[in-house]
Amino acid sequence: MVDLGDISLLGPTALAAQSVLEVTASTGYQAPFSLSVATAVRIGNLLGEEQARHAALVARVSMIFALGICFILSSLYFGLRNQWAYLFNNDPEVVALVARVLPIMALGQMFDGLAIILGGILRATARQFTGALLNISTYYAIGIPLGIYLAFSKDMGLVGLWTGIATALICGGLASIFIYLRMDWDKAVVDAHALHEKERKLEAVAIENNP
């Protein structure tokens, strides 16, 4: 997320609206993130038990659940966009600005859930580097530069900033679908056992060197 010090350059109204939007976004993040943690643990256990088919099923169900959760949240944000900011602020200018940005955030939220769940799947399959690369490429190479450009160079303000962020979330969600569809679950089982064996040997060496 862009630093609030940068947002202050857009004025006090934008700064207040950004505070509302950040709290809203971080709160909405908790549900799919919790699901991703549970997904990672469950898939990790199933891969250890050599149940590739069941691991794939858990991944599929989790992606569907995340999409459903984010659809509900996005619908809530969109439907209550004109009233939402009153939970935090009574300034009519802040309320109006939040109402303009919330539909953009709601669109990004739909795709963000998929990326969050994929992060859990990648952690379970020891592919954290792929997840890190995805985040860097979408947020730092696309979303944040685009958002800053639209906000300041095109004078779109907070709307431009969140357009950039939403673009990053959409790109991340679409990339997550692509990565998920190309996953080889039988290979994931083999990789999981190879990693476990490597960790077991390292642990044995550590115990041997530190009696």
User: What is the rounded average pLDDT of the residues 187-197?
Assistant: 83
Average pLDDT, the chain: 90
Element (H, E) at 48: helix 12-48
Q: What is the pLDDT of residues 101-112, one digit of tens each?
A: 999 999 999 899
pLDDT score at 181: 92
CA distance 201 to 73: 46
Asked whether the whole model's pTM tops 0.85, one would answer yes
pLDDT score at 102: 96
* Token pair of 156 as six digits: 């779109």
Of 106 and 207, more confident: 106
Say which amino acid occupies 32.
P
Q: What is the pLDDT of residues 60-95, one digit of tens each?
A: 999 999 999 999 999 999 999 999 999 999 999 999
User: What is the rounded average pLDDT of the residues 44-56?
Assistant: 93
